[in-house]
Chain A
Amino acid sequence: MSGAVSGGPKLRVRNASKVYPTRSGDVLAIDRCSLDVEAGEIVSIVGPSGCGKTTLLWAMSGLHGLTSGEVLLDDKPVKGPNPEIGMVFQEANLLPWRTLDANIHFPFEIKGTKPDRLWIDELLNRVGLEGFGSRMPRELSGGMQQRAALVRALSFKPSVLLMDEPFGALDAFTREEMNRLVEKIWLDAPTTIVLITHSIDEAIFLSDRIIVMSQRPGRVASIHNVDFPRPRSLEIMATREVFELTNTIKMEIVGGQQSRYAAQDTPVPAPAA
């Protein structure tokens, strides 16, 4: 799959490192992460909490810079917020004082462009939110709010969608429904998607590739290809192959944590007198 202008990867992260200065000294959040995302590919990033997944995603979106390394979108460096990139945040992140329609128009207001109502209506229709435009966010369920956030992110037709644990706050059933919705939208029009998740099931269900990150400082520990046919039915998700892949990834994440605890338990050698 290669739809990028230059024929190279759509999104490319090269040797990305980021240091956060804190009270107790500098913290290396991610360490020389490199990954390529092909056009139209869905890539998930999983890893233990605090491993720098969000740091990496925010760097990809241009929301913050890197200490070293670079992010390339269509071979051009990402230096700041980019109209080609749509973000879906943890929780729906709707503005509570705006109606659903006004929330979806928010990106256009900021950019000073006219919203494409036809496309927005089609999106609302596709996610089952037609007729809810005048509702306030608090009148919508968690799932509906997150679907509205999805419409908002897709409303200006970005070529890359970055999702930061988008469904973490939803219950398991709503979450599966959202996963099927993302799959459907993607099957209709394959967008490049990078998804951060804590759920290995979600990662396997949606991804072409899964990137496992190590304990902090986050490094790319391993990359798994997920070749199951789409749409991924319940039957496919119940096969031994999926089960084995789930376990492999789980072992990598948990195993990394165990080794960290083991390292902490080693007695510190006494300083030379």
Chain B
Amino acid sequence: MSETDAIPEFKRAGPRNEVGLAGGMSALAAGPGIRSMGEVLAIVLVAVVIIGGTELLLNIFAVPQYVLPKPSEIGMALITDFPLIAPHLGHTLIELFAGFAIGASVGLILAAVITQFPFAEKIITPYILLLVTTPMLALVPLLILRFGFGYEPRIIAVALASGPMVMINAATGFRRVDRGKIALARSYGASTLQIFWKVRAPMALPMIFVGLMVGSIFGLLTAVGAEMVGGGFGLGNRLTSYSSMIQMPQFFAVVLILSILGILIYVLFFLLGKRFASWEA
């Protein structure tokens, strides 16, 4: 064996034609990696300066609480009012999980099935695009009319918002498989099912994770939006309620909780992607 062969040549294997709504796995892989102590220090310092600076400026200019509460007030509200907010967080999470589970499952199955039939795919794709581009929030008033003020309209809205997003990305993933790899499996006598599980599915996995991530964030967005439209519970409902009562520290505490929720979702899928689809990064 020659010397040059020992040098790993980081050549990207396989096609790179991801054209989904999210920019492929790179969207996930561009996330945080391992950092040095210096970097951690810099990050903390910047955070302190921003939060402390905001606190200081709001104090100096004596900005009233109902315009913009100070970070310290938001923090206090988060601690003191958390017991009041927590049940609403629970409601939002239930809607998100239920809606996302339904939407993602249907989306994944549809993507797996229609990519096997190019003709069916051509017919269905415009409708999926329509579902992706239509804000499902627009349907919430109608859904409330039909299903009342309970979980149902929200879960349906979340499913409708996240499902097509998962589907369109997963379909892009399933389509990526090149003729060569299918021929390889077929040359060993692989069945259609074997080709699906051993070639198409693993190849699609990175894009599936992208779809799940984007879909779940869209689901969160829709859940909160639907709660703002109607019904007496959920974090979205708290936002309208606190703002109508001009309880700005509590309002921002809820916004903060939503931000953290979004980040946790992102990190979850980032880690899942890293664990199961690292071969592509």
Residues of chain B within 8 A (CB-CB) of A89 are 180, 183-184
B204 → chain A closest CB, angstroms? 11
Contact string against A for B residues 172-196, beta-carbon threshold 8 Å, 1 for contact and 0 otherwise: 0000000011011111111000100
Docked-complex contact B190 and A138, CB < 8 angstroms = no
Would A139 and B189 count as touching, CB distance under 8 A?
A: no
- Among A87, A94, A141, which residue has its beta carbon within 8 angstroms of that of B7? A141
Name the CB-closest residue of A to B12. A138
Question: Considering the chains assembled together, what is the distance between the CA atoms of A140 and B4 in angstroms?
Answer: 11
B14, B188, B194: most-surrounded residue (chain A CB, <10 A):
B188
* A109 touching B198, Cβ below 8 Å: yes
A81 and B189 CA atoms in complex are apart in Å by 5
Bound state CA distance, A83 and B188, in angstroms?
A: 7
Q: Check A72 for interface membership: any CB of B closer than 8 A.
A: no
How distant is the Cα of A38 from the Cα of B181 in the complex, in angstroms? 29
Q: Looking across the interface, which residue of chain B has its beta carbon closest to that of A140?
A: B8
Q: Is A182 an interface residue (CB 8 A)?
A: no
Q: Assuming the A-B contacts A95-B199, A97-B279, A177-B2, are A87 and B189 also in contact, with contact meaning beta carbons closer than 8 angstroms in the complex? A: no
Query: How many residues on chain B are close to A (CB under 8 Å)?
Result: 31
Q: Mark A63-86, 1 if CB is under 8 A from B, else 0.
A: 100000000000000001101010
A23 at interface, CB cutoff 8 A? no
Q: Which of A115-163 contact B (CB under 8 A)?
A: 128, 136-145
Contacts of A97 in B (CB 8 A): 202-203, 205, 277, 279-280
Whether A107 contacts B9 by the Cβ 8 Å rule is no
Q: How far is the CB of A81 from chain B (nearest CB, A)?
A: 4
Taken together as a complex, chains A and B put the C-alpha atoms of A78 and B243 apart, in Å, by 75
Residues of B within 8 A of A106 (CB): 184-185, 188, 198
A191 within 8 A of B: no
B194 & A110 in contact (Cβ 8 Å cutoff): yes
Given contacts A63-B183, A89-B180, A111 and B188 within 8 Å (CB-CB): yes
Q: How far is the CB of B74 from chain A (nearest CB, A)?
A: 44
Q: Is the CB–CB distance between B198 and A110 below 8 Å?
A: yes
B39 is an interface residue with CB less than 8 A from chain A: no
- Complex Cα distance, B188 from A143, in Å, reads 23
Tell me which residues across on chain B come within 8 A of A15, comparing CB atoms: none
Task: Enumerate B31-54 residues with CB–CB distance to A below 8 Å.
Answer: none
Instruction: Determine if B194 and A91 form an interchain contact, defined as CB atoms under 8 angstroms apart.
Output: no
Closest to A162 in B: B187
A90 at the A/B interface (Cβ < 8 Å)?
Answer: yes
Q: Tell me if B11 counts as interface (CB < 8 A to partner A).
A: yes
Tell me whether A80 and B189 are in contact in the complex, defined as CB-CB below 8 angstroms, given that A97-B279, A138-B13 are known contacts: yes
Within the assembled complex, what's the spacing in Å between the Cα atoms of A46 and B219? 56
Query: In whole angstroms, how far apart are the Cα atoms of A144 and B279 in the complex?
Result: 17
When the two chains form their complex, are residues A128 and B180 in contact, meaning their CB atoms are under 8 A apart? no
Select which of A63, A92, A143, A177 is within 8 A of B187 by beta carbon: A63
Tell me if A93 counts as interface (CB < 8 A to partner B). yes
A7 within 8 A of B: no
Q: What separation, in Å, do the CA atoms of A94 and B185 have in the docked complex? A: 11
Name the residue of chain B whose CB is nearest to the CB of A130.
B1
Residue contact A138 to B198, C-beta cutoff 8 Å: no
Q: A85 vs B11: C-alpha distance in the bound complex, in angstroms?
A: 29
Alpha-carbon separation in the docked complex, A196 to B64 (Å) = 79
A96 at the interface (CB under 8 A from B): yes
Interface residue A214 (Cβ < 8 Å from any Cβ of B)? no
Q: In whole angstroms, how far apart are the Cα atoms of A90 and B203 in the complex? A: 19
Partner of A90, one of B8, B180, B188: B180
Cα separation A177 to B3 with both chains bound (whole Å): 13
**CB pair B185 A110 closer than 8 Å:** yes
A-B contact pairs, 20 of them (CB 8 A): A62-B187, A90-B180, A93-B184, A95-B181, A96-B14, A97-B202, A97-B277, A97-B279, A97-B280, A106-B188, A110-B188, A110-B189, A110-B190, A138-B10, A138-B11, A139-B8, A139-B10, A140-B8, A140-B9, A142-B11
The 10 closest A-B pairs by CB, nearest first: A128-B1, A96-B13, A110-B188, A97-B279, A81-B189, A107-B188, A141-B9, A87-B187, A110-B190, A139-B8
Q: Which B residues are within 8 Å of any A CB, using their own CB?
A: 1-2, 4-5, 7-14, 180-181, 183-190, 194, 198-199, 202-203, 205, 277, 279-280
Supplied contacts A94-B13, A141-B7, 11 more A-B pairs, CB within 8 Å: A83-B189, A89-B180, A89-B183, A91-B180, A95-B181, A97-B205, A97-B277, A110-B188, A110-B194, A142-B9, A177-B2
Chain A residues with a Cβ under 8 A of chain B: 58, 61-63, 80-81, 83, 85, 87, 89-97, 106-107, 109-111, 128, 136-145, 173-174, 177
